[in-house]
Amino acid sequence: MRSLVRTVSRLVYRNCVKPLFFRMSPDDAHDLVLGIMTKSQRFWVVRKIIQAMWAGPKKSSAVRDICGVKFSNPIGIAAGFDKNAVTLPFLNSIGCGFVTAGSVTLRLRPGNEKPWFHRLPESGSIIVHAGLPNKGINEVARNIKNNRDNIGSMVTILSVAVVAQSAGHTTESAIDDAIEVMERISRDELADMAEVNISCPNANDDQPFTQPGMLEKLLKAIDKLEYPLPVFIKMPSKSWEKFEKLIDIILKHNVQGVSIANLTTSRGIDLKDTIPDGVHGGLSGQPCFERSNELIEKTRKKCGKRLYIIGIGGVMSAGDAQVKIDAGADLVALISGLIFEGPQLIGEAAHKVR
């Protein structure tokens, strides 16, 4: 019965809801969706109806144990969708095994000048040029605490951006800020895991921590914390030759996993849409799929079980999620799939993956 409901939901979303959203600018549509989620999740009955339609049913074979943290299923939301952790109860209702909120910084960060998003509808992609906007750890902490009683067993991962807060800040101050946020996460029990985002391609800072020497410096600072929560590193979308050098450094430090991978900045991908002049940012969705799978597979082959892997990039179906798991991912996170296929995708993937 629930499978039929999801099938009908997909058709309604594809033929009715998505065309309405796609008539709006992607920035306005994103704000509207977050507003609908935050308002509707206040009502217990709404959450239960959504859960009955799209989530579960839970099955024991879907459960994952990552560093002692229990995931009811391996499908979740990547960082960048809910930057301020305002929609956690709604995302739990649609069946997410986990949500990565953020990326968050120590203080409020306005991000780049809007527009932040540009759709490539035929290519199944969003060009993102947001620049890590968020309201800072104090506001995000309040949101998490206010919603904690309504997220059930869903795992919360909080993504921490390692980025200069202003043009005058140094890489050392960026590390200090990130360390302070990580300390706050563990001290106030804000999340089950921390993700350290070294690789946002639209923060206008040349991604210094994706360089081996700077990554080493960052991870040494994290080592000194003797951090009590599992730590994942949000990895860039690079060639394996460059990517492997980062993995070699990560393996020497107190890091339990990697999220593979962030947005791609490549414009050499065969796209079905033309990118207008003046549109900047990283590409999400289908253009990331193959590169992400390649990096997941090679990382698993290199590392064996020494690192857990969250697979990210281009998941538009339950089959796509299974491809990432078959490549070596322990968990799978998505955003663009929700936009292009609808919220029932989470439950479909959670039910079908092995």
Distances (CA, A) of 302 to 89, 236, 247, 255, 305: 37, 17, 9, 16, 9
- Distance, in Å, from the CA atom of 173 to the CA atom of 257, rounded to the nearest integer, reads 25
Computed over every residue of the chain, the mean pLDDT equals 94
Query: Pick the residue with more confidence: 204 or 105?
Result: 105
Query: Pick the residue with more confidence: 278 or 259?
Result: 259
Distances (CA, A) of 243 to 56, 212, 247, 332: 36, 10, 6, 19
* pLDDT tens by residue, 225-254: 999 999 999 999 999 999 999 999 999 999
Nearest to 341 by CA among 318, 313, 312: 318
Distances (CA, A) of 181 to 131, 132, 231, 352: 18, 15, 13, 36
For the segment 263-287, the average pLDDT, to the nearest whole number, is 89
Residue 23: CA count within 13 A, CB half-sphere: 5
* pLDDT tens by residue, 290-331: 999 999 999 999 999 999 999 999 999 999 999 999 999 999
Do 54 and 6 form a contact (C-beta atoms < 8 A)?
yes
Q: Which helix (H) or strand (E) holds 134?
A: none
Quickly tell me which residue has 């459960």 as its tokens.
63
**CA dihedral angle for residue 55, residue 58, residue 62, residue 65, rounded to 10 degrees:** 100
Say yes or no to pLDDT of 57 above 80: no
Q: Look at strands 117-120 and 98-104 and give their pairing.
A: unpaired
Burial class (CB in 10 A: 0-12, 13-18, 19+), 5: middle
Confidence at residue 285, expressed as pLDDT on a 0 to 100 scale: 94
Confidence at residue 206, expressed as pLDDT on a 0 to 100 scale: 78
Task: Tell which phi-psi region holds residue 226, choosing left (phi > 0), alpha (psi between -120 and 50) or beta.
Answer: left
- The share of the chain scoring above pLDDT 90, in percent, equals 87
Distances (CA, A) of 326 to 288, 334, 339: 17, 16, 24
Does the global pTM surpass 0.85? yes
Query: Pick the residue with more confidence: 166 or 61?
Result: 61
Say yes or no to pLDDT of 202 above 80: no
**CATH numeric code, 2-352:** 3.20.20.70
Strands (E), the chain: 64-66, 69-71, 75-77, 98-104, 117-120, 125-128, 155-161, 193-197, 231-234, 257-260, 282-283, 308-312, 331-334
Confidence at residue 168, expressed as pLDDT on a 0 to 100 scale: 67
Among the listed ranges 196-205, 216-225, 330-339, which one has the minimum average pLDDT value? 196-205
